[in-house]
Amino acid sequence: MRDRRGVTVIGGGAVDAADLVAALAVAPVLVAADGGADRALALGRAPDWVIGDLDSISDAARASVAPERLLHVAEQDSTDFAKSLGRIDAPLVMAVGFAGLRLDHTLAALTVMVQPGSPRVVMLAPDDVVLVCPPHLDLSLAPGTRVSLYPMGPARGASTGLEWPIDGLEFAPGGRVGTSNRALGPVGLSIEGPMLLMLPRDCLGAVLTALCG
């Protein structure tokens, strides 16, 4: 599924109407990952597409979607989020409903985000904006803003504008992580390796500006 603007993918986790409105404002095509269709309909928005193994979507939600807009992917070796991302060609994917209820589902979604070939994803969690840090990123942040870095594999980097610089540090999931750092003002990051960046929700605008201009 190709779109030149952006695609919002909704899952069955915690998401409210404000999350969905914020996501659709920048990524107006709505894809439901399987049972995310029920969540979307409960929030008053029918999905444009439903992708997954379709074992979680209710009969009522299935009936509300045109059959040609239901993409059944039968294999069980990947999550419905992974199935959705693998079939989207867009400059930006906004992900909602993949955090806040089940920790295993959240961890699975974060793991998918760092897989090679995944599109650029910005996840809206209840308290955070989460993305995979690109090789270079400049963020306009207010002093005192929480900046958390969490490695999903061996990673290293350099920074400007952080209270605790990361230059020369080696990160790994079972070793050093970079949670609860703080911005002194605008922040510059250069990252090698799979690194998640987590910022407060009110930083969404700064993230989108940094990624998309």
pLDDT at site 101: 79
pLDDT at site 180: 96
pLDDT at site 100: 81
Q: Name the architecture of domain 7-126.
A: 3-Layer(aba) Sandwich (3.40)
Beta bridge partner(s), residue 51: 33, 71
pLDDT at site 212: 87
Domain boundaries, the chain: 7-126, 136-196
Q: How many residues are listed for the chain in this entry?
A: 213
Q: Supply the CATH classification number for the domain 136-196.
A: 2.60.120.320
Count CB atoms within 10 A of the CB of residue 17: 11
CA 209/CA 213 separation, integer angstroms: 5
Mean pLDDT of 31-37: 96
Q: What is the pLDDT of residues 46-64, one digit of tens each?
A: 999 999 999 999 999 999 9
Are the C-beta atoms of residues 36 and 43 closer than 8 Å to each other?
A: no
Residue 202 is encoded by which pair of tokens? 């009110």
CA 122/CA 130 separation, integer angstroms: 6
CA-only gyration radius of the chain, Å: 17
Count CB atoms within 10 A of the CB of residue 29: 19
Please indicate, yes or no, whether the overall pTM of this predicted structure exceeds 0.85: yes
Q: How many CA atoms lie within 13 Å of 16's alpha carbon, on the beta-carbon side?
A: 5
pLDDT band of residue 3 (cuts 50, 70, 90) is: confident
